[in-house]
């Protein structure tokens, strides 16, 4: 329960703007659910019928409180998974077409016999991680197939008392139901920040993000210019870009948008209509089989990738 509360708090704290490390922050927030889990997040275009997948941005979790030796190992693991996720261009197994509209949470082993042999499945299994859970979160109803793909996998050996005491199927089912309960909140935060990032110019640069944080603190353009050792003209240009990217007509709107205080009608409310497909060990195979998509010719969408490597 405590872990779920902490994960909820961290998900609520995710940026309301499209920062370059949004996927990595989301991965770390969701990983709070499981002390021995590794989480990968892809912001991507997905076509279940053709299995084509185009990542726009990726992120992998890490545990900041680990020992030095563990930290080095996790950084290496994160780089490896990051590299694998960035290169994926196909899902490699069937998904219900409803997954990109309603959302989905399911163990890989229950989805498809080919799931563990897919590029995503192999990337995680090669790092000695088992029982991966797939979560598909619709980002925007305006862009069908624009989704957040979350993969949570567990370490094969764990010394954590609660995790070690749970049989694998029970542990996976518990986590699956928790992720399903959090899916509407994740969808809201993703929609709030990422609805427009199909346009590569919509991502905030590091400098823009830095200036926006100083504006939130109440600093003037002149003060920001002094703090960053830049000219006021340069800072003004960055502020203008922030207004364009965040669709703000005033400084107040800009700060409100950055803090997530957007008018209700400015963001498509996906959370009210989401009824995610949840597949656990107790789900009947026949019920899931009815949701399988029919094959279609592959169509690979084009995208500009935005990656965030953990250092």
Contact 33, 7 (CB under 8 A): yes
- 111/178 same-domain check: yes
Q: How many other C-beta atoms can be found within 10 angstroms of the C-beta atom of residue 137? A: 30
- 92/208 same-domain check: no
Check whether 299 has a pLDDT greater than 80.
Answer: no
Domain residues for the domain of 41 are 2-195+267-307
Query: What is the rounded (10 degree) CA torsion for 169, 170, 173, 174?
Result: -150
The whole-angstrom separation of Cα 215 and Cα 54 is 34
- 125/235 same-domain check: no
The least confident of 9-13, 37-41, 145-149, 304-308 is: 304-308
- 14/34 same-domain check: yes
- 136/62 same-domain check: yes
Res 286: pLDDT: 46
CATH number for the domain that contains residue 173? 3.30.450.40
- 261/119 same-domain check: no
| Token pair of 161 as six digits | 């008392």
* β-bridge partners, 224: none
- 60/116 same-domain check: yes
CB hemisphere CA count around 145 (13 angstroms)? 20
Res 95: pLDDT: 87
Check whether 297 has a pLDDT greater than 50.
Answer: no
Contact 146, 193 (CB under 8 A): no
- 17/49 same-domain check: yes
Segment 15-25 mean pLDDT: 92
Per residue in 178-192, pLDDT tens? 999 999 999 999 998
Percent of the chain with pLDDT over 90: 45
Res 290: pLDDT: 56
- 143/223 same-domain check: no
Res 65: pLDDT: 55
Count structural domains, the chain: 2
- 161/293 same-domain check: yes
Question: Across the chain, how many H-helices and E-strands are there?
Answer: 13, 7
Check whether 162 has a pLDDT greater than 80.
Answer: no
pTM (two decimals): 0.83
> Which helix (H) or strand (E) element contains residue 130?
strand 129-138
- 34/160 same-domain check: yes
Per residue in 56-77, pLDDT tens? 999 999 765 555 555 566 677 7
- 207/153 same-domain check: no
């Amino acid at each position: 329960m405590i872990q779920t509360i902490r994960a909820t708090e961290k998900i609520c704290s995710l940026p309301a703007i499209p920062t370059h490390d949004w996927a990595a922050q989301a991965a770390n927030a969701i990983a709070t659910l499981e002390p021995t889990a590794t989480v990968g997040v892809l912001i991507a275009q997905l076509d279940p019928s053709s299995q084509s997948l185009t990542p726009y941005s990726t992120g992998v979790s890490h545990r900041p409180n680990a020992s030095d030796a563990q930290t080095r190992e996790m950084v290496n693991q994160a780089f490896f998974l990051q590299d694998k996720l960035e290169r994926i261009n196909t899902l490699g197994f069937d998904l219900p077409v409803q997954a990109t509209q309603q959302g989905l949470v399911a163990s890989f082993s229950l989805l498809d016999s080919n799931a563990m042999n897919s590029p995503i499945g192999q990337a995680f299994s090669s790092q000695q991680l088992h029982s991966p859970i797939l979560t598909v979160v619709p980002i925007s109803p305006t862009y069908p197939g624009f989704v957040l793909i979350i993969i949570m996998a567990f370490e094969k050996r764990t010394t954590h008392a609660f995790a070690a005491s749970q049989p694998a199927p029970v542990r996976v089912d518990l986590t699956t139901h928790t992720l399903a309960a959090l899916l509407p909140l994740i969808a809201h935060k993703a929609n709030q920040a990422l609805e427009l990032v199909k346009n590569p110019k919509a991502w905030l640069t590091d400098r823009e993000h830095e200036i926006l944080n100083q504006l939130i603190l109440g600093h003037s353009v002149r003060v920001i210019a002094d703090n960053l050792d830049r000219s006021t003209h340069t800072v003004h240009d960055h502020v203008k870009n922030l207004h364009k990217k965040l669709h703000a007509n005033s400084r107040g709107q800009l700060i409100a948008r950055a803090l997530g205080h957007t008018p209700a009608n400015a963001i498509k409310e996906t959370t009210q209509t989401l009824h995610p497909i949840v597949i656990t060990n107790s789900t009947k195979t026949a019920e899931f089989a009815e949701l399988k998509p029919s094959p279609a010719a592959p169509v690979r969408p084009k995208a500009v990738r935005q990656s965030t490597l953990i250092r």
